[in-house]
Structure 1
Amino acid sequence: MTSSLPLLLLALCSLSAAEAQLTVFNLRASDLPSGIVVTTDGYVKVFCGSASLGETSVRNNDPNPWWEEKFTYFQGQENDVLRLEVHDSDIFFNDLLGVCQRQINFMREHDCFLESGGLLHYSYTLNGNNQ
């Protein structure tokens, strides 16, 4: 009769190395900069480490947009870098308004001041064995 202890240890080790589900949501901005003639057409690109999680829809002519999209990443881990890029959509090229970047930790809501002006607020959860 063979022992099942090695298999049990292997299963436990693989569980402890498992990754968690990161969900980014509740993205909203305030006081985005406007040009002389037009108001910002803002959208946000979301990244975790080197993985692109997608981008929001464009909110036309709105200096205080709110986006309904949620972004999920199943390989997230505590201390991964979460990066959000706020852009202004234009006909010929899109302007980068600012970047919010921080390590995923116990803080779940953040406000980030953008380089070109304005503020981005976002929330996230990290569910799994890493929390």
Structure 2
Amino acid sequence: MASKLSVLLLVLCTLTLAQAQLRLFNLRGSKLPANLFGTTDGYVTVFCGEASLGKTSVRTNTVNPWWEEEFTHFQAQENEVLKLEVRDDDLLFDDLLGVCERQLQFGTHQHDCYLKKGGTLHYSYTLG
């Protein structure tokens, strides 16, 4: 009896720590705050939990950028935090426009994140 209980507990622990594939896509910004010249050179840096997944290309001279990159992470877990940092690329240092954080849930989701300095980041992800 004790060995059956041990096996059951092991299976349950394995299920709660199951990893899934994360796919982040369809990143776009709208009405990002402009610099003195009336434009933004925006990009997004992506994190899942402690893992850095990379960053998008810089979209120059637009307050409404659309990024074509997709990000995949094969070791994501439900309730892990997806963090997106939106920045304006500048000569000396890049301005942080805002940070979007969300706990991952299974399925496909679309979100709008209102940035601290103004504007919105729109994105979609699938966890499964």
What TM-score comes out, normalization by structure 1 length? 0.83
- Counterpart-to-counterpart distance in 1, 2:59 and 2:87: 11
2:20 is aligned to 20
2:93 is aligned to 93
How many residues are treated as equivalent by the alignment?
120
Q: How does 1:16-95 map to 2 (within 5 A)?
A: 16=15, 17-95=17-95
1:104 is aligned to 104
Deviation at residue 119 of structure 1 after TM alignment:
0.3
Give unpaired runs (5+ residues) of structure 2.
Answer: none
- CA distances 1:52-87 after superposition (whole Å, capped 9, x unpaired): 010000000010000010111111011000000000
User: SS of the counterpart of 1:57?
Assistant: coil
1:118 is aligned to 119
- CA distances 1:12-54 after superposition (whole Å, capped 9, x unpaired): 8386343100111100000001122241000000001111010
User: SS of the counterpart of 2:28?
Assistant: strand
User: SS of the counterpart of 1:101?
Assistant: strand
Q: After TM superposition, where is structure 1 displaced by more than 2 Å over at least 4 residues in a row?
A: 12-18
- Counterpart-to-counterpart distance in 2, 1:40 and 1:56: 14
Give unpaired runs (5+ residues) of structure 1.
Answer: 1-5
- Counterpart-to-counterpart distance in 1, 2:77 and 2:104: 8
Coordinate RMSD, CA, aligned: 2.1
Letter in 2 for 1:125: T
Q: Percent identity?
A: 63
- Counterpart-to-counterpart distance in 1, 2:37 and 2:61: 11
